Structure 1
Amino acid sequence: MHAFDVLGDPVRRRILELLAGGEMTSGAVCAVIQDEFGISQPAVSQHLKVLRESGFATVRPDGTRRLYSVNAGPLQDVDEWLGRFRRFWAPHLDALGTELARGKRRRRLDEERRRAEDEDQRSDQ
């Protein structure tokens, strides 16, 4: 299965988001996914199986539990493929970062000015 076929499903993307936070038991993954998507435990297990078989997730036994985690390899492949397209959005994100920094600096300077004015008013009294 192609990486984008795997990632094209919102349930599998959500499972990967959960696993990005750290290793989780299959039961914990099922509980969240069942709550958010309203699907059965066997359906969640099928999604975990697809992630496992496509290499996006790994599983290791821990006693009676099965612990799932993200396997970064396929995600790196996706990142490399997306690299060809970064030039379309990277400059825009850089510009956004610059504007956010300007706004933050402006707010900090305004706050410093207000504090200085307040101190001047208190000292005049």
Structure 2
Amino acid sequence: MGQDEDWLDWLDGDLAQGAGATAAAQQLAAENDATLQGGAVPTEVNGYPGYEVAVRTNYTVGESVIPGTEGMHANAHATAVIQPRCDIGPDVGPEKAVELDCDGEIVDIDPENFELDDLPDASVLFSVHLAE
């Protein structure tokens, strides 16, 4: 992130760039014996960033009570939404320590003595869930 970018916007999820969204969707589809159709498409759900995908099963429906469907594949669409889990303390400034309350887990960030390893795992900062 550049010097001019506001890291609070990043923490709010406003600067999500989707790096790795397509690869993550491909992996999840493969784990479910399906194939991603195209890539992850950026979207917005209720003001939060998200990614839409389409998948198709690698297997056919097989025997069915509906004639002519035996060779058909199932298709599905899904939308994953990224929501921040953290509330930022009221006393925020470029040189002030910041306290984050991430669903009850307190994270202190001191810009005077900050290292990237000081940040918790992304799963503490953000929730990713299916919206559709």
TM-score (norm 2): 0.22
Larger RCO, structures 1/2 (Cα 8 Å, 6+ apart): 1
TM-score (norm 1): 0.23
Structure (1/2) with the larger strand percentage: 2
